[in-house]
Amino acid sequence: MMKNDYTYEVGDIVTLKKQHPCGSKEWEILRVGADFRLKCLGCGHQIMIARKLVEKNTKDLRKKA
């Protein structure tokens, strides 16, 4: 099993494997902890999701400027 060693921080843009129904795969991290709050960059929808799921489905992580 591949372990990615990303450091997740508020403001980072995470690219997930599956796309949101709106078509975007990019999410902005609004809250970090046992659960993450993510905001879809396509439509602005916000979700709470378990850290484990985010770590498992992360394809790419862009740090905030």
Question: What do you get for the CA distance between the two ends of the chain, in Å?
Answer: 31
Q: Where do the domains of the chain lie? A: 13-62
Mean pLDDT of the region 38-44: 96
Q: For residue 4, what pLDDT is reported?
A: 64
d(CA 22, CA 64): 23
- What are the C-alpha distances in Å from 21 to residues 26, 31, 34, 43, 52? 12, 22, 25, 9, 21
Name the nearest CA neighbour of 58 among 26, 32, 34, 21.
26
pLDDT surpasses 70 at 3: no
Does the pLDDT value for residue 56 go beyond 70?
yes
User: 55 by DSSP, 3-state: which?
Assistant: helix
- Which has more pLDDT, 20 or 5? 20
What mean pLDDT comes out for the span 17-34? 94
Which pLDDT value is given to residue 64?
79
Answer yes or no: is pLDDT of 2 > 80.
no
